C-alpha cells in the first residue's frame, strides 16, 4: 500500500568513519511528510547538533509541497530528532568529550508510513583514509568486471 522511501547520504560514508548507528524519529509538519513521501528531500549536506540537550538535524532540505498553500513549510529548517534519553545523553557526552560528529545516513519511511532518520556517530577521515576507500572501491569494481565476463 505505502511506497517506501529511502534517501541516502552517500557522501557521509566516504568522508566519515562510522562508529555507531541510531534510528531516530523526526518531528515534521503535514506538508513536510507529504514531500518526503514524494521523494523530494535531501540530507547530503546535513549534520546534527544539540540545543538544550535536544538533538536537531540542521541543513536538511525538504522541498515545499507542490500542492500546499500558505501553510506550507520552509525548505531548510531545523528539525527535532526523537531519541530515548539514554541515547541522547550518551551521544551528547561522546560529542563533547571525544570530538565526534553526528551525521544523518539515511532518511526512510517505515512500515507504518512514519519518517525515520538513521544517524551515525562518526569520526572524520583523513585524506589517506579516503584514498584507501577509493582504492578498495576500484578493486571491487575490477573484480566484478572479471566475474561478469566468465
- Over residues 120-139, the pLDDT tens digits come to 999 988 877 788 888 888 99
pTM of the model: 0.79
In degrees rounded to 5, what are phi and psi of residue 125? Answer: -85, 150
Q: What nine digits make up the cell of 63?
A: 522541498
Q: Is residue 131 part of a domain?
A: no
pLDDT tens for 40-83 read 899 998 999 999 989 999 999 888 888 877 778 888 888 999 99
Q: Based on the structure, what is the number of domains in the chain?
A: 1
- Say how far apart CA 105 and CA 93 lie, in whole Å: 21
pLDDT at 33: 87
Strand ranges, E, within the chain: 6-8, 16-26, 41-42, 47-51, 54-58, 61-62, 79-82, 101-109, 115-124
Q: Is residue 140 part of a domain?
A: no
Going by pLDDT thresholds of 50, 70 and 90, the confidence category of residue 2 is low
* Least confident range of 13-22, 30-39, 123-132: 123-132
Q: Where in the sequence is the domain holding 89, given as residue range(s)?
A: 6-125
Q: Is residue 137 part of a domain?
A: no
Residues 102/55, Cβ–Cβ less than 8 Å:
yes
Question: For residue 58, what is the domain's CATH number?
Answer: 2.40.280.10
Q: Is residue 23 part of a domain?
A: yes
Amino acid at each position: 500500500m505505502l511506497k517506501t522511501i529511502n534517501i541516502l547520504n552517500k557522501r557521509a560514508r566516504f568522508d566519515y568513519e562510522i562508529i555507531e548507528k541510531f534510528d531516530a524519529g523526526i518531528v515534521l509538519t503535514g506538508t513536510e511528510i507529504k514531500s518526503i513521501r514524494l521523494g523530494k528531500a535531501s540530507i547530503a549536506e546535513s549534520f546534527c547538533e544539540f540545543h538544550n540537550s535536544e538533538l536537531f538535524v540542521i541543513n536538511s532540505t525538504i522541498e515545499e509541497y507542490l500542492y500546499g498553500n500558505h501553510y506550507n513549510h520552509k525548505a531548510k529548517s531545523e528539525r527535532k530528532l526523537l531519541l530515548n534519553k539514554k541515547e541522547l545523553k550518551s551521544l551528547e557526552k561522546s560529542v563533547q568529550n571525544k570530538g565526534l560528529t553526528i551525521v544523518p545516513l539515511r532518511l526512510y519511511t517505515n512500515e507504518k508510513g512514519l519518517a525515520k532518520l538513521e544517524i551515525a556517530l562518526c569520526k572524520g577521515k583523513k585524506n589517506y583514509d579516503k584514498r584507501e576507500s577509493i582504492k578498495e572501491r576500484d578493486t571491487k569494481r575490477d573484480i566484478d568486471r572479471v566475474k561478469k565476463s566468465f
